[in-house]
Amino acid sequence: MVGCSGSGPGPTSPASSYLVEHDGFRVLLDLGNGAFGTLQALADPATVDALYLSHLHADHCLDVAPFIVWHRYSGRSRRRPVPLYAPAGADRRLAAAYYGDGAPLEDVFDFAVLTGAPFDLGPFQVQTVRTAHPVECHAVRLTAGGRSLVYTGDTGASTAVVELARSADVLLAEAAHPDVPGLPPDLHLTGREAGEHAAAAGVGRLLLTHVPAWVDRTAQLASARAVFATAELVEPGATYDV
């Protein structure tokens, strides 16, 4: 767990970023605000084999900018482009975020557009589905060694995400919305909804993430556990076996 604070960095965690490893291959799921700093405490950035950006909201992608600086100027990168999977337009968007003229980033990243088609990434088989979110966002299922991890990215209630997570060993689910009336649809899950998605999919383990700093974490956990008794809140810096 490089960063698990929802909607932006919080006082004790960067925004969304998760380092997934199997057989020595490392893929970084999202790289939100502040995450590149913490990443360096957990792993040498040169050992990141690929990046996956669920979507292009700032709290999921903006620390690509310091990654670019590190890659170009630290003298420690592998000196070859890192595969970067993201929704269409990520190349222009990230270039503009890095520098005003939007100069190309092909020396840093080998851009691949998420289309919904499955693909292989190192030892992982990768499946994605569009989530219920105001911008194009893709939940992802990584399978390797007979085990599966599903990460929701950002999503409102979604049967597509439930199907993607069917019988997964671990579901890393966002739980950003408090359980209050009048929530906008197709934006985020409540703790209860995260639990309902985990139960409907029949996953082995539910890890809750993306709780904003201004939302009561213990309340999110309690509402998830009302429908999925073993739900857990992730902790920044922690490691979980899938």
Return the number of the residue (50 or 61) whose C-beta is nearest Zn ion: 61
138 near Zn ion, judged by CB under 5 A: no
Tell me which stretch binds Zn ion (CB under 5 A): 50-58, 112-120, 166-174, 212-220: 50-58
DSSP SS3 for 91? helix
Q: What is the smallest separation between the CB atom of 132 and Zn ion, expressed in angstroms?
A: 11
Q: In 3D, which of 131, 125, 116 has the Cα closest to residue 149?
A: 125
Q: What is the smallest separation between the CB atom of 152 and Zn ion, expressed in angstroms?
A: 11
Dist CA 232 CA 228 (whole Å):
10
Tell me which stretch binds Zn ion (CB under 5 A): 49-57, 91-99, 173-181, 197-205: 49-57
Q: What is the smallest separation between the CB atom of 120 and Zn ion, expressed in angstroms?
A: 27
- Which of 48, 57, 176, 209 lies at the binding interface for Zn ion (CB under 5 A)? 57
Torsion of CA 40, 41, 46, 52, to 10 degrees: -70
**What is the size of the binding site for Zn ion (CB under 5 A)?**
2
Instruction: Give alpha helix (H) positions in 165-229.
Output: 191-201, 217-225
Which residue has 């929530």 as its token pair? 183
Which residue has 């291959």 as its token pair? 25
Name residues contacting Zn ion, limited to 148-207 (CB under 5 A).
154
- 8 Å CB contact between 83 and 49: yes
Q: What is the smallest separation between the CB atom of 116 and Zn ion, expressed in angstroms?
A: 18
Dist CA 74 CA 46 (whole Å):
10
Q: What is the smallest separation between the CB atom of 55 and Zn ion, expressed in angstroms?
A: 6
Q: Under the rule (CB under 5 A), what is the footprint of Zn ion?
A: 57, 154
